[in-house]
Amino acid sequence: MKKLAALIASASMFATSAAATPAVATATVNFRSGPGTGYGSFGNIQEGSPLDVSECDASGAWCTVKFLGRDGFVNGKYINRTEPDTPPWPRSFMPGNSATLTLFQPQFTDWPAFTELKASDAAKPIYGVISVSGKTVAHDDTNQVVITDIKATQVDFSTLDRKELTDLALEVRKLMPTGPITVSQERLADSLPTSTSRPAPTGGIVVLGRSFPNETNTGVPDDLKSSLTPYTGSCTITAADVKIDRKVITCDQLRLLGPNTAITNSIIIGTVHSDCCYLNGSYSLTDSEVRGPDSTATVVGEARFKLLRVEVSGGSRSVNCNTTCEIRDSYIHGQYGDKRGIDHESGIRQDAHGTFVHNTISCDAIAYPNPTGGEGSGCSAAVSGYGDFGTVNNNTFTDNLIESREGLTGQAASSYCVYGGSTTGKPYPNAHHIVFTDNIFRRGGMGKCGIYGPVTSFDSNAEGSLWQSNVWDDGATVPPAN
């Protein structure tokens, strides 16, 4: 048995009994202290919320359930048992004061998560941070981690008055588990930042005392570049668990259609692609460079991929995250300038389920006029997202440097630095769960990052969306709308 350090979780957690069965509330249902309407109520469990069912009486009228760490009873009529792998988050709870508390999935780091307190359906959501601490002990024989002494260490909602904040803190304490909880070591490890043998980037671009990636601390390490050899394999990989290390890969499009391709310490000359809807390809690029063409192209895309300390340049769109991607400690820049005056370039296109942490995201393509009239070429945004083909959702941007550099005309290269996904006039304009926290925006030559401003089409009232602690490179606050 080994000791682990104390942890910070981003929301309260719960223990699942060995005999419990995952289920979902099929309607907003009263959560009672006993099996009947005569017993006291803990509050309402919202429709669609996951819970765990231990047992039901003979008639199925009342079931013993666990929800957000509390044991109670729910009318069995409003329970639908689900498969064990049903995602258990987010969880909504109505604690009895006409507010709705939504807890998002815990993260086992000092990584803020966000809790929504909404007074009524018509009211605007109020966002803040709930931090939870606990002590952990890992049991290698069972591959489990036991967490004890769970308590809320911070309830921070800056827009609430003192009474409202006190009331909320009391409700949060009621939801804390009273006994130890158990999670697998794999779950805890998956929640931590990606672990590698290489230290976190240092040097690079320093803004407000914080270091961000550039060409000096991303890509193939200098001491390995002389050992790279040409890649002679296929440009289409369908096998599983393929590993490629220290290669120069020259493919117009490297198609990674098999699961778990891992490319390390390599230079890719061309583009990299895993299809969103064909087969089930997934891949990771680590300590590598992707040099896209000097033409219209998405350089890295589009589904189920991870980039760690990767430098991406060239093409008209550096990265397209159609679904399920993670980019950390990487340098996105150097899009090509379209001399025809047609293409609109971008750094990262966000669609769904993307995590973007500690990157430099730049759109610096030179802008050229359109000889036949019109607006010409140039960057749309360092981070784009429009709702053209589906709803933009569940994307998180944390601790990134977001910038637009000067174009040929002397103006900022991008129209905006960020499109938040809720673009009016698009087929799918209602983005949700879009989170921007602790990012730095560079002002650039026009003083506002993009030609028109730092951000557009971000809906602060959308479910699960949050704009918090984003600042200019001089420390001033960047608002969520221009």
Place of tokens 């174009």: 407
Q: Which of 177-186, 269-278, 369-378 has the lowest mean pLDDT?
A: 177-186
CA–CA gap between residue 353 and residue 350 (Å, rounded):
8
Most confident of 267-271, 430-434, 462-466: 267-271
Question: Which sign does the torsion angle of CA 377, 381, 382, 386 carry?
Answer: negative
CA–CA gap between residue 404 and residue 361 (Å, rounded):
9
Question: Which one-letter amino acid corresponds to residue 289?
Answer: E
- DSSP for 258-301, please give it: STTEEEES-EEEEEEEE-SSSTT--EEEES-EEE--SSS-EEEE
**102-152 confidence digits (pLDDT tens):** 555 555 544 444 444 444 455 555 555 565 666 777 766 666 677 777 666
**45-67 confidence digits (pLDDT tens):** 877 777 888 887 766 778 888 88
What mean pLDDT, rounded, does the chain reach? Answer: 79
What single DSSP character describes residue 80?
A: E
Compute the average pLDDT of residues 223-233: 96
Rounded to 10 degrees, the C-alpha dihedral 334/340/346/350 comes to -140
Compute the average pLDDT of residues 420-436: 91
CA–CA gap between residue 160 and residue 163 (Å, rounded):
8
Any idea where the domains of the chain sit in the sequence? 21-81, 91-107+128-190, 205-472
How many CB atoms are located within 10 Å of the residue 262 CB?
Answer: 15
Report residue 97's pLDDT band, with 50, 70 and 90 as the boundaries: low
Q: 202 versus 306: which is more confidently predicted?
A: 306
Answer whether 402's CB lies under 8 Å from 440's CB.
Answer: yes
Question: Which sign does the torsion angle of CA 444, 319, 418, 158 carry?
Answer: negative
Report residue 2's pLDDT band, with 50, 70 and 90 as the boundaries: very low
CA–CA gap between residue 451 and residue 446 (Å, rounded):
7
**Model confidence at 435: pLDDT above 70:** yes
**Model confidence at 278: pLDDT above 60:** yes
Question: Which one-letter amino acid corresponds to residue 321?
Answer: C
Q: Spell out the alpha helix ranges (H) of 239-363.
A: none
Of 1.10.1740.10, 3.40.50.720, 3.40.50.620, 2.30.30.40, which CATH number belongs to 21-81? 2.30.30.40
CA–CA gap between residue 420 and residue 405 (Å, rounded):
20
